[in-house]
Amino acid sequence: MKIALIGCGFFARNQMHAWAQIDGVELVALCDMDSARLTDAARDFGVTRTYTDAAAMFAEGGFDVVDIATTVHSHRPLVEMAARAGVHVICQKPFALNMADARAMVQAVEATGKTLMIHENFRWQSAIRAAIDALRSGAIGTPFFGRVSFRSGYDVFAGQPYLAEGKRFIIEDLGIHVLDIARALFGDVDRITATTRRINPSINGEDVATMLLAHQGGVTSVVDCSYATQRSPETFPESLLEIDGTEGTLRLDAGYRLTVNGTARDVSPPVLDWAERPWHNIQESVLLIQQHFVDCLRAGREPETSGRDNLQTFGLVEAAYLSATEARTVAMAEI
């Protein structure tokens, strides 16, 4: 399976490392408008085909999958280019600038019979996966309340300075992941109520958000995220869980400690040979989601975070911003 990757920036390095670790997969082409960054990535990962123009890369072809690791403004034109080229697509989150673009991208790839997956990797963190598996096994009966929490004071702007520039920040960049975890645990959502705050005066967007979700299956969940929380010890980048069910409770606490009905176990992720703390849980999840994508292509089944599925997660982001702006509960049917 031959892979081409567009975007060789900060996070894409994890994707390149993951591709190198998956059996039967070869990274054959790289594309980036920054020629110096492109040259560095090609040297480090032994890729000989390099492009500064995505259209030229698609015209030459010779790959089965394109992995789009660029910022959101380029997603629709690149996904539609990939659809015209007839290749499978992985696209970074956030999926699109708006719901209309997201739907158009899904339709463009589906029309070709190829697969589109969004790189929504948080649900693939091994600690989160252990909690999902326990919940789906019925270990605490039927869940009725959940909390998914990500609170940190980690300086994410040092590695990704563009995050400080947009009018939207934490829901679009981080909250989208935490909302997707809630969907993976409790299913789709009927309505959402959200509040936001900006604590850091040096950024343009919100850095605190709290969201109340009413899920279709009857679960009420609270999704909260913050990059303004001073914690000691720092828990970045862990997502913490509290789930109550009809037959017990589940907790995923700091330090990757999963407790189900009073019995605790360590679900710490491994530190892969190309990973580093504290990013190692996210880096492992990149490998796991890309392996999932490859497995799905080989088996002819839809990935968990397919483009069509991700319309629901992306819709929650849009609904959360609408709720916070208008100070009201938003029904997902509106989105």
How many other CB atoms are there within 10 angstroms of residue 189's CB atom? 25
Alpha-carbon span 64 to 68, nearest angstrom: 13
Q: Which of 114, 149, 174 is the last residue of a domain?
A: 114
Inter-residue long-range contacts of 82-85, CB under 8 Å, 24+ positions, other chains counted = 82/58, 82/109, 83/108, 83/109, 83/111, 83/112, 83/114, 84/58, 85/58, 85/61
What pLDDT is attached to residue 159?
A: 84
User: Alpha helices of the chain — where are they, by DSSP H?
Assistant: 12-21, 35-45, 54-60, 75-85, 99-110, 126-136, 170, 176-186, 280-299, 307-326
Alpha-carbon span 220 to 225, nearest angstrom: 17
Both 200 and 247 in one domain: the answer is yes
What pLDDT is attached to residue 317?
A: 97
49 forms beta bridges with 29
Both 70 and 167 in one domain: the answer is no
Q: Which CATH number is 69's domain given? A: 3.40.50.720
As for how many domains the chain has, the answer is 2
Domain span holding position 50: 2-114
Alpha-carbon span 82 to 64, nearest angstrom: 10
Cα 285–Cα 186–Cα 135 angle in degrees, nearest 5 = 70
Both 106 and 173 in one domain: the answer is no
How many angstroms separate the most distant Cα atoms in the chain?
58
Q: Which CATH number is 127's domain given? A: 3.30.360.10
- Beta strands at 330-331 and 65-68: parallel, antiparallel or unpaired: unpaired
The dihedral over CA atoms of 72, 78, 83, 84, expressed in degrees to the nearest 10, equals: 150
Q: What's the token pair of residue 163?
A: 């995050």
What pLDDT is attached to residue 67?
A: 98
23 forms beta bridges with none
Q: Which of 86, 114, 142 is the last residue of a domain?
A: 114
Alpha-carbon span 89 to 313, nearest angstrom: 18
Q: Which of 88, 114, 140 is the last residue of a domain?
A: 114
Q: Is there a domain that residue 300 lies in?
A: no
What pLDDT is attached to residue 323?
A: 98
Both 98 and 130 in one domain: the answer is no
Cα 264–Cα 230–Cα 154 angle in degrees, nearest 5 = 85
The secondary structure of residue 86, as a DSSP letter, is T
Average pLDDT, consecutive stretches of 10 residues, N- to C-terminus, the chain (335 residues): 97 97 98 98 98 98 98 96 98 94 98 98 97 98 98 92 93 96 98 98 97 98 97 95 98 98 98 96 98 98 97 97 98 97
The answer to whether 311 and 94 are in contact (CB under 8 A) is no
What pLDDT is attached to residue 200?
A: 96
Alpha-carbon span 330 to 319, nearest angstrom: 6
> Whose CA is closest to 71, among 119, 141, 131?
119
Both 101 and 175 in one domain: the answer is no
What pLDDT is attached to residue 223?
A: 98
Both 156 and 258 in one domain: the answer is yes
Both 107 and 225 in one domain: the answer is no
Q: Is there a domain that residue 291 lies in?
A: no
Query: End-to-end distance of the chain based on CA atoms, in angstroms?
Result: 37
Both 99 and 237 in one domain: the answer is no
Both 102 and 173 in one domain: the answer is no
The position carrying tokens 């598996």 is 133
Q: Is there a domain that residue 296 lies in?
A: no
